[in-house]
Amino acid sequence: MIKNSFFLTLAVGASLMLGGCADLLEISYTPDEAMAAAEGAEALAASHEPAIPDNVILIVGDGMGVPQVYASVVAERENNSAFLRFPFSGFSRTYSRNHYRTDSSAGGTALTTGKKVDNYHVNWGPEAERYRTIFDDAVDAGMSTGFVVTSSVLDATPASSYGHVPYRKMFDTLSLQMAQCAHSVMIGGGYSNFLPSNRKDGLAPLDTLAKRGYTVVRTIDSVDAYRGDKLVGLLYDGDPLTAPARGDMLRHCSLKAIDLLGRNPKGFAMLIEGSQIDWACHNNDSAYLRAELADFELLLNAVLDFAESNGSTLVVVTADHETGGLTLPDGDIEKGLNTPRFHWGSHTGCMVPVFAYGPGAEYFSGIHENTDIPELIRWIMNF
């Protein structure tokens, strides 16, 4: 096992350090004593090995940097913010393989595969390699997988959980790949891209989904009423509405997905994205951003409530990049007010925050590459 190998290496290293110290202090160990020291070091290392969670939920706030998070903490009057419920936090470095500033497809790929790729590539390497995702690993382990997003299901971040294309806007190809992927639950917008009349290839991925046993629904009420195990919710022709016009879609559909995926006794792995935090920041629209962050807070509190009651779910929250160059030059803590200022209309290269809760959460503290996050998940989940 990867996890056991890691700790065996740690134990051997500890043993060697003990031996080195003995030489310096002119203390000798018998072979039995040396073996006992090594076994003691291995036992110490194993005692710090996290329990393997049953489930993992990766949540992405697209475009969400530290200023966006703090704006939400202030607006929620500090103590009510879900971000303050996470016991461990750190940072992620977001640059792509070919640029200081990543786009969402390269950022999403890093978070799902552990590979740096060029901007606009989705799980696609420089030699046309098709990279495996943590969701592929979860399926191989017998787990159920899925995603819920406030964008089209073909947008860059959800696509990074199932797709492989050299250009993120190859929607005809991505819709076919999605229709053939192993996810059990997929919810977002983008219905029009699945209709033959809107496609250059004239194909019907909806037929593929139906043949594979999926139920395709168009409303949140239909999502709520579903009782099977293969669900695709294409709730909007294009992108979902902005918050609050789309209602409680993100929280409600995410909890439904957790319920459906959680019926698998072997557990589940899930991606959730607050997609439009990014769009608000591209628009430099502070009111839009506030609404999306408030919606994201509702989601986080719901997921954390589930994780607390479940007791065996790892929750990791981060971003693919920061958008807008947001700063907060002034505000009022007591009134929950921010005075935001945007300095840019696109992505920046700033580090983004990472928050974690549940078994293994402590390993997400510190400064990481974005590619470290799926590798840590693989290690903790023992994929």
High-pLDDT (> 90) share of the chain, %: 85
Both 37 and 179 in one domain: the answer is no
Q: What is the pLDDT of residues 61-71, one digit of tens each?
A: 999 999 999 99
Both 31 and 158 in one domain: the answer is no
Domain that holds residue 9: 2-47
Both 34 and 72 in one domain: the answer is no
**Domains held by the chain: number:** 2
SS (H, E, C) 188-234: EECHHHHCHHHCCCCCCHHHHHHHCCCEEECCHHHHHHCCCCCEEEE
Both 166 and 113 in one domain: the answer is yes
Say what the pTM is.
Answer: 0.88
Both 7 and 110 in one domain: the answer is no
Pairing status of strand 322-323 against strand 347-348: antiparallel
Q: Which distant-in-sequence residues (6+ apart) come within 8 Å of 163 by Cβ?
A: 122, 123, 173, 174, 177, 178, 181
Average pLDDT, the chain: 91
* C-alpha to C-alpha distance for 167 and 232, rounded to whole angstroms: 24
Both 82 and 206 in one domain: the answer is yes
CATH number (domain holding residue 334): 3.40.720.10
Both 14 and 140 in one domain: the answer is no
Q: At what angle do helices 286-310 and 66-75 cross, to 10 degrees?
A: 80
Examine the pLDDT at 7 and tell me if it is beyond 50: no
Over residues 48-64, the mean pLDDT reads 92
Both 255 and 313 in one domain: the answer is yes
Both 25 and 108 in one domain: the answer is no
**Percent helix, strand and coil across the chain, each rounded to 5?**
45, 20, 40
Q: What is the pLDDT of residues 341-359, one digit of tens each?
A: 999 999 999 999 999 999 9
Both 141 and 274 in one domain: the answer is yes
Over residues 150-179, the mean pLDDT reads 98
Both 35 and 91 in one domain: the answer is no
Residue at a domain's end among 47, 67, 84: 47
Would you state the torsion angle of the CA atoms of residues 200, 202, 203, 205, taken in this order, to the nearest 10 degrees?
70
- Please tell me the predicted confidence (pLDDT) of residue 31: 59
Examine the pLDDT at 192 and tell me if it is beyond 50: yes
* C-alpha to C-alpha distance for 335 and 293, rounded to whole angstroms: 17
Both 359 and 244 in one domain: the answer is yes
Q: What is the pLDDT of residues 91-137, one digit of tens each?
A: 999 999 999 999 999 999 999 999 999 999 999 999 999 999 999 99
